Amino acid sequence: MPILVLIFVHDNHNGIHQSTYYRGSLFVTGRSKTIVGGFHFWKEQELTISRNKRQLSFDYNGSKVRGVNLGGWFVLEPWITPSIFSQWANGGGVVDEYTYTQALGPTEAFNRLNQHWATWITQADFQEIASFGLNHVRIPIGYWAVNPQPGDPYVQGQLTYLDQAIGWARSAGLKVMLDLHGAPGSQNGFDNSGRYGSINWQSGDNVAQTVIAIKALSDRYASQTDVVTAIELLNEPANWGNDMSQVKQFYYDGWGNVRTDNAYTAVVIHDAFLDIQSYWNGFMNIASGVNDVILDTHIYQIFSDAEVAMKPCQHVQTACAAGPKVAGTDKWLVVGEWTGAQTDCAKWLNGLGKGARYDGTLAGSTGYYGDCQTKYEGTVDGLLAVDKTNLAYYVEAQLDAYEQHSGWIFWAWKTESAPEWHFQNLTRAGLIPQPLTSRKFAPQCQTSACLIPGN
């Protein structure tokens, strides 16, 4: 059995502890600082790591990640499940999980969410995910599930279902990437962080509390290495609202906490919307003494007027251009979120009650690029034939591009009414290839010509 030894040497002058950690063949010497509820690393001054004789249970070097995000399950997003927010469709100030639980109060919020947790994703979903040839599920969860803060309105109970999900994944032969999707204070101000509005993650002790949340997830799940192969420290910390030196320090701290729990779990860091090569190459790579790190990048072409103005072939060309980019990173890289959508038409995608750039209904948008029609709300079968064709070509191009490195995880497995984002129904309809390595169309990333009919 691996042995863990913790040695702390206190320095009375600066309050810093020198720490040595040993687990199996992992040896780390670094600097740590005590925090409430535990500790976290300061950036390693010395770091010596020998490769573990035992490998991760998924080969991120030799196999491709092909997965889906179980979005909208443990972290609410109005556009994924608009029915949950329907009573506030015309106002009332409810725009995210924070205001949802605040408005309902703990008893009613728990009753409603418990029903949602029990039904949104079931064992049948895991079985179908595996049947489609996928090998990973990324499961977003908020800090409040494991480390709620004083004054938070959020309710708990998610872990019962997450425990169940780990078992379902094991039975289906799937690997799990746990993703801390929301941090105290919000790391990006998006509704998918749990709280829409200001970015206050680096205020007070929010970062330290996030480390505690990661430690709690790691303590509970990192030992299940046959299933939980990766833990993502934080989804989409915004570079424009955070000090990136603190973000990087948090990544070191989180890596240390996960890896001292289990040296056979990969650690995922998000790119903070910064260049995956020029900014992130050289950071936490094997050459710098840190192993088993996955860089997560999210690729959407819909959140600006310039992007929704693009023609279908321009979307394909942009996707293909990402291939060499992802291939040129110096650590494992997974495109952890992407979609079949070429517009921002899905109902409430830009926020509850908000319109779209594509049809000019979003406040501040600068043009009109088309009618959202059946892309606003409906089913995959209800999409126009031209939209189905454009989507199928676009998906294949993205598959070819993103598999030039470690692989991809589609957002999302299912939605209530956003058809271009619904992997399950897109696959059932034949718009995502089966098997996933097959192609209906000629290789689009090997030519500059537009292959989409009518474009």
Q: Report the alpha-carbon distance of residue 363 to residue 305 in Å, rounded.
A: 12
Q: Report the alpha-carbon distance of residue 12 to residue 85 in Å, rounded.
A: 53
Sheet holding 26-35, edge to edge: 4-10, 17-23, 26-35, 38-42
Cross-strand pairs, 421: none
DSSP 43: P
Q: Report the alpha-carbon distance of residue 441 to residue 439 in Å, rounded.
A: 5
Catalytic residue among 97, 236, 307, 396: 236
Give backbone dihedrals phi and psi of 268, rounded to 5 degrees, phi first.
-105, 130
Catalytic residue among 337, 396, 403, 420: 337
Alpha helices in 105-154 (DSSP H): 106-119, 123-131
- 293-335: pLDDT as tens digits: 999 999 999 999 999 999 999 999 999 999 999 999 999 999 9
How confident is the model at residue 261, as a pLDDT? 80
Q: Report the alpha-carbon distance of residue 261 to residue 380 in Å, rounded.
A: 43
**Superfamily designation of domain 53-446:** Glycosidases (3.20.20.80)
Domain boundaries, the chain: 53-446
108 is catalytic: no
Residues 6+ away with beta carbon under 8 Å from 295: 268, 269, 270, 271, 276, 280, 329, 331, 332, 333, 334
337 is catalytic: yes
Kindly report the pTM of this predicted structure.
Answer: 0.91
Per-block mean pLDDT, blocks of 10 residues, the chain (455 long):
33 29 30 42 40 75 98 99 98 98 99 99 99 99 99 99 99 99 99 99 99 98 97 99 99 95 94 99 95 98 98 98 98 99 99 98 96 97 98 99 99 99 99 98 96 93
How confident is the model at residue 54, as a pLDDT? 56
Residues 6+ away with beta carbon under 8 Å from 350: 344, 356, 357, 362
How confident is the model at residue 33, as a pLDDT? 42
